[in-house]
Amino acid sequence: MPSVQSEDSSNAAAPVALRGDLLDFTGTPDWGDVDSPAVRFRPDHWLLIKGGRVCGVQAEQPQGSWKLHDHRGRLIMPGFIDTHVHMPQLDVIASYGTELLDWLNTYTFPAETRFADPARSHAGAELFVEALLANGTTSAVVFATTHKVSADALFTAAQQRGMRLITGKVLQDRHSPDGLRDDVLQAERGCIDLIDRWHGTDRLSYAVTVRFAPTSTPEQLAMAGALCAADATLYMQTHVAENRAEVEWVKQLFPEARSYLDVYARNRLLHARSVLAHGIWIDDADRAALQRSGAQIAHSPSSNLFLGSGLFDWRAASGAGVAVSLASDVGGGTSLSPIKTMGDAYKVQAMAGQRLTAWRALHAATLGSAQALQLDDEIGSFETGRMADVCVWDWAVDPVAKRRMEVARGLHERAFAWMTLADDRNLVQTWVAGVLRHGRAGA
């Protein structure tokens, strides 16, 4: 898709007004409710942006020095939030065959080893953040690699674009190839250096990043837990109970733990800023522990389907009060598009006899993710004062989708058809903190 050049960040101070059909959320839609009062839809309204933040919404065209962008007939939403994705794995997206553990050894680990090269890390980070923006993702929780330079490169690329990004160097000191293993003291020094440099700088936060329990020794897990305990503002990201063979391996490695999740709980890694990807093979006791801690599950349906990992029980997690956000998990996932991720999430739930509404899916990729990350005072909605991370979408771009929109009955039917049929071709503009960062030429 042809794209315009990003506007200089100094333009963030210029007042901007976007006209279109504004859609966001004021609460959590109930499961199965297609007429949810939590949906806030304001067709043909102006979104007012000043100083990089939302400063109001109105039906009338604003007067004065506003720079007007007339997108009438188009959908305008908060930028999407991807809560689990791997920057270095763009190199292995769409790799054939094998389940999780073989996939890691065959594709992922060799690809990540190359990110020890600073030039590779910086090129990979640039490609990655541009690809996020080209898919309507303005905030993300990201795995780098075990190499400190890879996290530095990611932070730098996001900072240059004003993005909200959470990442950290990966911790793995066993069951990993040469070039990816670290050790406890080296890893701790690298984390502390990165925390001191980046955590809380601009819109950046550090995540203590445990690859998954099998690739960290008990000593490294304890070190990671100590970092989290020393600073409650740090995030923690890892994987949990993705694949049945993986779960069995964890049981052998940690026989003292009640469950895979309990490995993290025992090491002070389960808390309100913990983001745990997958959570397919968990039980009621695990869900209760997640609810008590405030930790979230980053549901990664595309990856779960592609690797044959299993079907996540969203309804059970929701019923237990567990926060569920949406994640692409590229490169296990096959697309950075949150829209495609939502479409796959619907299919996963349909296989379990459930029906995921467009509202529940869209909420999980915007306000729901923001709330789970304790960032809803910054991102996820069009409330006054929120950062102006905004995406403009065409409801339909091809003849079939246009015809579907013509006959759609009601707002949810339109939104669901868009969620199912749209892709990056529908994206017109991506704004980050009030600055145009991606868009079609002439849009």
pLDDT value at position 12? 53
Cβ atoms of 146 and 115 within 8 Å: the answer is no
Q: How far apart are CA 48 and CA 354, in angstroms?
A: 38
Compute the mean pLDDT over every residue in the chain, rounded to the nearest whole number: 95
Q: What is the identity of the amino acid at 66?
A: W
Predicted structure pTM score? 0.95
pLDDT value at position 442? 64
Give 48's strand partners: 17, 56
pLDDT tens-place string over residues 65-106:
999 999 999 999 999 999 999 999 999 898 887 777 787 888
The H-assigned helical ranges of 254-337 are: 260-266, 284-293, 301-306, 314-319
| For residue 368, pLDDT beyond 50 | yes
| For residue 3, pLDDT beyond 50 | no
Average pLDDT estimate for 36-50? 98
Cis peptide before 331 (omega within 30 of 0): yes
pLDDT value at position 14? 77
**What domains sit in the chain, N to C, each tagged with a CATH number?**
9-78+382-439 (2.30.40.10), 80-336 (3.20.20.140)
> DSSP states of 29-89 as a string?
PPTT-TT-TTEEEEEEEEEEEETTEEEEEESSPP-SS-EEEEEEEEEEEEPEEEEEEEGGG
User: SS3 for 177?
Assistant: coil
Average pLDDT estimate for 186-191? 96
Residues 6+ apart with CB under 8 A from 123: none
pLDDT tens-place string over residues 374-391:
999 999 999 999 999 999
pLDDT value at position 9? 45
pLDDT tens-place string over residues 196-234:
999 999 999 999 999 999 999 999 999 999 999 999 999
pLDDT tens-place string over residues 109-152:
888 999 999 999 999 999 999 999 999 999 999 999 999 999 99
